[in-house]
A and B are shown apart, each in its own frame.
Chain A
Amino acid sequence: MIWNAVRESEAPEKRRTRQLADLKDLVARLYNRVPFYRGRFDSQGVKPTDIRNLEDISRMPFTTKDDLRETYPYGLLAADEEDIVEVHTSSGTTGTPVVDAYTRNDMDVWAEVMARCLMMAGAEKGDVVQNGYGYGMFTGGLGVHYGAHAIGCNTIPVGGGNTERQLQLMRDFESTILTCTPSYSLYMAEVAKDMGLNMADLKLKSGIFGAEPWSENMRKEIEEKMCLKAYDIYGLTEIIGPGVSNECSEQNGLHINEDHFYPEIIDPETGEVLPDGEKGELVFTTLTKTGTPLLRYRTRDITWLERGECACGRNLVRMHRLLGRTDDMLIIRGVNVFPSQIENILMEIEETQPHYQIIIDRGQSHLDDVELRVEVEPKFFSDETRELERISRKITEAMKNKLGINLHIRLVEPKSIERSMGKAKRVIDKRTL
């Protein structure tokens, strides 16, 4: 089912007309109400009236995460403070937190786009949504909650953690939809096994997984172990939280709710807008938000866009699952490496678990020393050192062939790498550069 067929399957020309009208309105609001943006416009010599068609957006200034931090907490507010009804901030794990302040209008937008996302993943009235995203300042929990309520789903607000209880609730209330991080779902599968719970006996049909990058191989593993269809969801606090885009039944790219969040792909070096199909940094403009709307926000996420009718009935532009980030890309001895590549390689090696950690240090030789800790799959544990060394060599060679660098492989005990309830901490960079 489609939550809002009028908007999600709208004729492209009609959609563009409304996007342009909303963009003009947004730019005028930013210029008139947010001194930060007025300063940007003036210093770049552009005016709101410069927007005559959608392509003119490329003349407008970008907004970066640093801009958000420097204006913390309310420097980007475009509404009166008394009209704000809810505030969320990012976890601040990578610096000062960023703020999203929602007006009544923004709350409605959020519930609308999240309801669309849930339906893209097969939810409808009558479904039981078990929400394993954290509630609180993190947008994940409440965002899913509002969307599930808009549809009228029974919503179980269990949040993250307490895995045995999660599984009991799942069994007792016959949850049909699970939302959590992909790595946490694999941890759940492990705990279920320890509890003697067979996932095939439960009622789950879909899982909506996001808040951290994952891979196609990981999807296969989750679908097999959790006995459900796994869908990718994308969102970020700065834009609205979860609800920006989601995969549909085709599992071939994430439909962006582009009538609310206008996407562009740019060259991260030059800022140049790239044509559809080309990889680059994803940029969003929040067309309809009124609390803290953003113009051309640079997400640092790398992906590409594809347009056209989708077999699911929607024609919202699709973004490919994230290929990485402009800032979590590791440069190891001059080679660009994304943690997701390492994960993909490990998934193809049966003797290891997809749980891993990368530790980068710079030794006395001043060369980057990269240790990749991987868990041994218990059934491949051997009483002979040479067998374990064979596994270790196999991983080293696979990494060398596919990444072009030598990693020091360290086999560790199963379940010894910390399982995160939220974002998995995959990389520990001890280099002081």
Chain B
Amino acid sequence: MKVTQISVFMENKNGRLAEITRLLASKNISLRAVTIADTADFGILRLLVKDPDYARDVLLEAGFTAKETEVLAVAMDDKPGALAEVMELFEKNKVNIEYLYSILAGKGDKADVVFKVEDLERGESLLKQNGYDKPLDL
């Protein structure tokens, strides 16, 4: 369900990502999801961690441009068609998805997928009504 994601602005230059991951490692911050959205000129690194406020502060203090965004983390059955089912639910109810990515390692028989939707509240209640109500264990 609703989780707080950290996004970090990254110029496309050598070593930037290594620098960020090194910094997080030094503060013992474990990454549960990592994804990069990139264009020719810049990238946006998106992260899920256990304590997002702490991770954001660490990044800001080190001079990075970072912010928090609410996204939806959905635990779904780890089987073919599970994602299609959720997508269909969103589509039917006209919840627009801005982007999505999956979480690094699923726990047990579930696969976790993160959605950034246009209307967060509506997206969340829709998922809950349809049985996707397992809170994400980061």
Contact = CB atoms under 8 A, between A and B. Distances in A.
Q: Do they bind each other?
A: yes
Classify chain A: how many residues form its interface, as a range: 10 to 19
Interface stretch (A26-34, A326-334, A409-417): A409-417
A202 to B, nearest CB: 25
Interface string A360-387: 0000000000000000101001111100
Given A383-B69, A385-B37, A416 B11 contact: yes
Nearest to A389: B39
A376 B9 contact: yes
A392 B41 contact: yes
A206 B126 CA distance: 59
B44 A388 contact: yes
Given A381-B67, A383-B46, A383-B67, A413 B39 contact: no
B39 A376 contact: no
A306 to B, nearest CB: 44
A413 B44 contact: no
Residue picked from A384, A411, A414, most chain B C-beta under 10 Å? A384
A392 B41 CA distance: 10
- Binding site secondary structure of chain A: mixed
Interface string B36-73: 01110110101000000000000000011111010000
Interface in B86-128: 98-99, 116
Nearest to B45: A383
B38 to A, nearest CB: 8
A162 B67 CA distance: 30
B9 A381 contact: yes
B65 A410 contact: no
A387 B21 CA distance: 25
A388 B67 CA distance: 14
A65 B49 CA distance: 60
Contacts of A383: 5, 7, 44, 46, 67, 69, 116
Given A378-B65, A381-B65, A383-B46, A413 B41 contact: no
B42 to A, nearest CB: 5
Contact of B65 (A385, A389, A414): A414
Interface in A397-433: 409-416
A396 B10 CA distance: 20
A389 B39 CA distance: 9
Nearest to A371: B41
Interface of B: 5, 7, 9-11, 37-39, 41-42, 44, 46, 63-67, 69, 98-99, 116
16 contacts: A376-B9, A381-B65, A381-B66, A382-B44, A383-B5, A383-B7, A383-B67, A383-B69, A384-B99, A385-B44, A388-B9, A388-B39, A388-B44, A409-B41, A410-B11, A411-B11
Given A412-B42, A414-B65, A416-B11, 12 more contacts: A381-B7, A381-B9, A383-B69, A384-B37, A384-B99, A385-B38, A385-B44, A388-B44, A389-B39, A409-B41, A410-B42, A413-B10
The 8 lowest CB-CB distance pairs between A and B, nearest first, are A383-B7, A383-B69, A385-B37, A381-B65, A410-B41, A381-B9, A378-B65, A412-B11
